[in-house]
Every structure is written in structure tokens, then in C-alpha cells.
């Protein structure tokens, strides 16, 4: 493997430009760390209408750029800017990307042309490499949206002077989302009907983007070691277990890193007071401000449980909803909840805040400053997910001394060490059963520790804040994965 790799990362979202989840954090942070390690990295994402050109300094770069989709040549434009030194390119195609929402409308209805939109993005990202004369060693793609790239490389670009030598890496952030669509879009995608087979793109008569990517990628990974193990089982793979198991040791888990320049209470620009393991006084100021902003009773002696989440059943928030009123009635505890999603859950948490003023505070929507304030001001942070490929908020929480209460699944299990009541060791509180009952009693365990075993609580806070989940460690693991992908490509 050359010491300096040329890497193109094609993704449907990327911070700070467009974000709905952890995929955007990875696409924004990992390239910067790879660049710092000496690699040449470019990033390609859509130019959504929600992206503020002036704020991010986007400028026209290439127009027009022709992209062949099946027998149709589409014409688009490309804008560019720099994300802390990483060249980022935006595919500007009004028909597909000039609309509110990245994947769905305001009512959470998926756009019906999503297979066309993201098939086009993927092909445009590869075409941009050709037009830039950027000869990548690695084409790194994320989730179903860009999972066709490994197939495009092997079907169409195997002898291309620019793309023919590129090895492909597919990162799965959530195997539940696979890009499963009617086969009528297959001609437009141009993948040749000979590849519409049950071991490649065909899935019960439909096309499955992710399945094809798993088949064609030189290596596949997901975002935590435990989630890699879980998705090899029928229960948590959503039908992909046979294909992931078929990749053998070419399917691995690499834990996501976090950006400690943004998520660190010692330097966080969005919180009212800084603090560190050596001086926690600022955390009390953050707690008081959190209570004020969320309409909670301002009382430094009552613990706060924070939530920053998509309000969805997958996140276990329907289970929390079943016991949150019982919890605040039975225990001296407060909840600070930030999130949006399922309209029923939004309505429930709003009404719960009205019924329990001072004990439950709710912000429906998303606010980055409020998210930072919850991480800094809460005492505990709950993530009762049914499954969680990696999770980032529990890692942020560790750094802020906000002890996680999590279900032992995926990356939550990998990053939180269970509290040992005999020794005070650990960094959080874990439960296994996905039930409201388990949530109630685990929150009770954390709250009793807060009141009755303060020395253990302080010991855990110190240990939690000293955990290191920076991107540098994960980036080295990706370097090894890239080397493996190149070996596989050359061997093939």
C-alpha cells in the first residue's frame, strides 16, 4: 500500500453541511483525520437546497458535467468549498436535490425517486473523479445511498484509466436501511440485467442497493465491533446475515470516533461554563442553565437524565414513554428531552412536560446549542435503543462526565463499561432486556447511586471523562481496512 493514498468519499450527508444522523459525522470528521495522516482525500455530497452557499463559501467549480445513467446522459453542475482543508464537492442537480428534506418530505414520506436521486449521486461522484483527473486508490461509500459504487466500478470502470485501479470500501451505518426499490429503476441505474440476480442486486423481485454493495465491495465494515457480530445473526441483520457472513473476514466492525474539538467541555463554545476532570465546577453552572432553559426546577441536588435523540421506536423512546411518568413520580429526578420524529411520541412528551412541570422539560426539534447544553448539564444520559450500530451521544456523554444509561447493544455495549456496585468501577449503567421495566429499574439504579453512593459516582465520572474515543485511533483502523481492500482488489 502506498504511504499516501488518494481517497474519494461519496456520501449522502456530511457535517457541517447536511445532517440527519451519525453518517454525516463520519463523512465530516474521518476525512480530516485521514488528511492529517498524510492522505489526499476529497468528499462528494449532494448540493441540497438547504445548504447555505454563503455561510459555507460554496463556489461554482464545474459546469456542465455529463453523467451517464443507463442510456441517458444527465447534465449537472459542481460546486466546491474546503472543510478544514478537505476539498468538498457538491453535485448540483435541481431535479433531484432542490427540495426540502434530504430523504423525505415534512410528513416523513420518503421521496419516491430516491433510487434515481442517489444512484445519480453515486455515478456523478465517480464521474467527478474522471473530470478532476483524480485517480483514487480508494472509493469509500456509506450506506445504501452510495452502495452502488462498488458495482459501478466492477461493471463499468474495471479498465478505466482513472477508476480501474480503485478499491472499494462500503461502510454500513444501519443495516435496517437497504435501499429496496421497484426493479423499474434498474435500467436508469445502468447496472445490466445480467447482474439482477439473487446474489447481487435482486431481492424478491426488487432491487436492493445495500445487498449489491455488500457483494461488490472489496471490503465491508460497520461502525462497531458488537454491531458487526449482531448483524451476522438473522435477528438483527434485516435479511443481510447470509451475505455479510459470506464476506468472512472481509466484513469487520470499526468503532466511530468523535470530534473532540467540538465535543469537549474544556473547549466547548456552546456551553455557559467550561470544566474538566480536574475542575468540575463549571458543570454545576451548565446544570443550572439547563434547568432554566428547559423549564425544570432549579435545584442542584436533583439529578437530570438527558435525552438527545430521534423520537422513534428503534431508539427505545416508546419504552421510555411508558415509564417516564412513573419514574418522576417515584423518584427525585428530572428529564431534559431534545428530539423530533414520530408525531405520536412528540405529542406524548409535550403533554408529559405539561403534566409534570419542573420535572420534565421537552424541546421538540433539533438545536445544536441545546444538545451541547444537555450533554454538559445533565447527570445521566439515557439511550434505550433496540439496536444501535455505534451511537455517538453516549461517547459525548462520557467526555462531559454525564454517565450513560444504555441498553447493552451495538456500539453502546462497546463504549460503556458496566458499573460495579462493589468497587465503584465503570463508566455507566447497562441493561439487556428491551423493556420499559428494565428502563425504570436501571434509571432507579443510577438515581440511587447519585444519592447513596456519591463516592462511586465521582469515581465513575473521573473515569468516564478520561476515556479516549478520538478519530485518530479509528482512522488508523481505516488505514488497515484500506490496505486490505487494495490487496483484495489486486488479488482479484
Residue among 84, 90, 13, 27 nearest 58 (CA): 90
Structure confidence at residue 3 as a pLDDT band (50, 70, 90): confident
Q: Which band of pLDDT confidence, cut at 50, 70 and 90, is reported for residue 21?
A: confident
Label residue 22 by pLDDT band (50, 70, 90).
confident
Q: Which CATH architecture has domain 6-257+471-491?
A: 3-Layer(aba) Sandwich (3.40)
pLDDT at residue 437 tops 60: yes
Assess whether pLDDT exceeds 70 at residue 1. Answer: no
Span 423-437, average pLDDT: 98
Cβ neighbourhood burial of 394 (10 Å; 0-12, 13-18, 19+): buried
Whether pLDDT at 126 is above 80: yes
pTM of the entire predicted model? 0.91
Looking at every residue in the chain, the average pLDDT score rounds to 96
**How many other C-beta atoms are found inside a 10 Å radius of the C-beta of residue 184?**
10
pLDDT in tens, 440-458: 999 999 999 999 999 999 9
| Highest CATH level, class, for 281-465 | alpha beta
In this structure, what C-alpha cell is assigned to residue 26? 463520519
Q: What is the pLDDT of residue 108?
A: 79
Query: Can you name the residues that pair with 73 across neighbouring β-strands?
Result: 68
How many of the other CB atoms lie within 10 Å of CB of 296? 23
Compute the average pLDDT of residues 461-471.
96
Q: Contact, 148 vs 209, CB < 8 A?
A: yes
Do residues 427 and 417 lie in contact, with contact meaning Cβ atoms separated by under 8 Å? yes
The pLDDT of residue 492: 74
Average pLDDT over residues 454-479: 96
Q: How far is it, in rounded angstroms, from Cα 349 to Cα 337? A: 8
When pLDDT is averaged across residues 84-99 and rounded to a whole number, the result is 97
Average pLDDT over residues 406-429: 98
Banded pLDDT at 2 (limits 50, 70, 90):
low
For 156, list phi and psi in degrees, rounded to 5: -110, -30
Tell me the torsion sign for CA atoms 36, 37, 40, 46.
negative
Tell me the three cell numbers of residue 434: 428491551
Q: Is-contact 384 432, C-beta < 8 A?
A: no
- CATH 3.40.50.2000 region(s) of the chain? 6-257+471-491, 281-465
Q: For residues 379 and 381, what is the distance between their CA atoms, to the nearest angstrom? A: 7
Asked if residue 126 lies in contact with residue 139, where contact means CB atoms within 8 angstroms, the answer is yes
Residue 366 · residue 414 · CB < 8 Å: no
Integer Cα distance of 412 and 414 in angstroms: 5
Mean of pLDDT values over 416-436: 98
Query: How many C-beta atoms lie closer than 10 Å to residue 403's C-beta?
Result: 29
Amino acid at each position: 500500500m502506498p504511504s499516501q493514498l488518494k481517497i474519494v468519499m461519496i456520501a449522502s450527508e456530511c457535517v457541517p453541511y447536511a445532517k440527519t444522523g451519525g453518517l454525516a459525522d463520519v463523512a465530516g470528521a474521518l476525512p480530516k483525520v485521514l488528511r492529517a495522516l498524510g492522505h489526499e482525500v476529497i468528499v462528494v455530497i449532494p448540493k441540497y437546497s438547504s445548504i447555505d452557499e454563503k455561510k459555507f463559501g460554496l463556489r461554482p467549480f464545474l459546469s456542465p458535467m455529463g453523467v451517464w445513467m443507463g442510456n441517458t446522459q444527465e447534465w449537472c453542475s459542481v460546486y466546491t468549498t474546503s472543510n478544514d482543508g478537505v476539498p468538498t464537492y457538491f453535485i448540483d442537480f435541481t431535479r433531484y436535490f432542490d427540495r426540502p428534506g434530504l430523504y423525505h418530505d415534512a410528513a416523513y414520506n420518503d421521496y419516491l425517486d430516491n433510487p434515481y436521486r442517489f444512484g445519480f449521486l453515486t455515478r456523478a461522484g465517480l464521474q467527478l473523479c474522471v473530470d478532476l483527473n483524480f485517480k483514487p486508490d480508494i472509493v469509500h461509500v456509506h450506506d445504501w445511498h452510495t452502495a452502488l459504487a462498488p458495482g459501478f466500478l466492477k461493471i463499468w470502470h474495471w479498465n478505466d484509466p482513472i477508476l480501474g485501479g480503485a478499491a472499494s470500501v462500503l461502510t454500513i451505518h444501519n443495516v435496517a436501511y437497504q435501499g429496496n426499490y421497484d426493479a423499474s429503476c434498474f435500467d436508469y441505474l445502468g447496472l445490466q440485467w445480467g447482474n439482477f440476480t439473487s446474489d447481487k442486486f435482486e431481492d424478491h423481485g426488487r432491487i436492493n442497493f445495500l445487498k449489491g454493495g455488500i457483494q461488490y465491495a472489496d471490503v465491508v465494515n460497520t461502525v462497531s465491533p458488537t454491531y458487526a457480530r449482531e448483524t451476522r445473526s438473522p435477528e438483527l441483520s434485516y435479511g443481510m446475515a447470509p451475505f455479510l457472513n459470506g464476506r468472512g473476514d472481509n466484513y469487520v466492525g470499526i468503532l466511530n470516533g468523535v470530534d473532540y474539538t467540538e465535543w469537549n467541555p474544556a473547549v466547548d463554545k456552546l456551553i455557559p461554563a467550561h470544566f474538566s476532570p480536574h475542575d468540575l465546577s463549571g458543570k454545576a453552572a451548565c446544570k443550572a442553565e439547563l434547568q432554566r432553559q428547559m423549564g425544570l426546577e432549579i435545584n442542584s441536588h436533583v439529578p437530570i437524565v438527558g435525552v438527545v435523540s430521534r423520537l422513534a421506536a428503534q431508539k427505545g423512546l416508546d419504552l421510555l414513554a411508558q415509564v417516564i411518568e412513573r419514574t418522576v413520580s417515584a423518584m427525585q429526578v428530572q428529564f431534559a428531552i431534545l428530539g423530533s420524529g414520530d408525531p405520536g411520541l412528540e405529542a406524548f412528551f409535550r403533554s408529559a412536560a405539561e403534566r409534570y412541570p419542573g420535572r420534565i422539560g421537552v424541546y421538540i426539534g433539533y438545536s445544536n446549542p441545546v444538545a451541547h447544553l444537555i450533554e454538559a448539564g445533565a447527570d445521566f444520559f439515557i439511550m434505550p435503543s433496540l439496536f444501535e450500530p455505534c451511537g455517538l451521544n453516549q461517547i459525548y456523554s462520557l467526555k462531559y462526565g454525564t454517565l450513560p444509561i444504555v441498553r447493552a447493544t451495538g456500539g453502546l455495549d462497546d463504549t460503556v463499561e458496566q458499573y460495579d456496585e462493589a468497587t465503584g468501577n465503570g463508566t455507566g449503567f447497562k441493561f439487556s432486556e428491551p423493556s420499559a421495566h428494565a428502563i425504570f429499574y436501571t434509571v432507579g439504579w443510577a438515581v440511587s447511586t447519585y444519592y447513596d453512593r456519591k463516592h462511586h459516582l465521582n469515581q465513575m465520572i473521573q473515569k468516564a471523562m478520561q476515556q479516549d474515543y478520538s478519530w485518530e485511533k479509528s482512522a488508523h483502523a481505516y488505514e488497515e481496512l484500506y490496505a486490505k481492500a487494495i490487496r483484495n482488489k489486486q488479488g482479484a
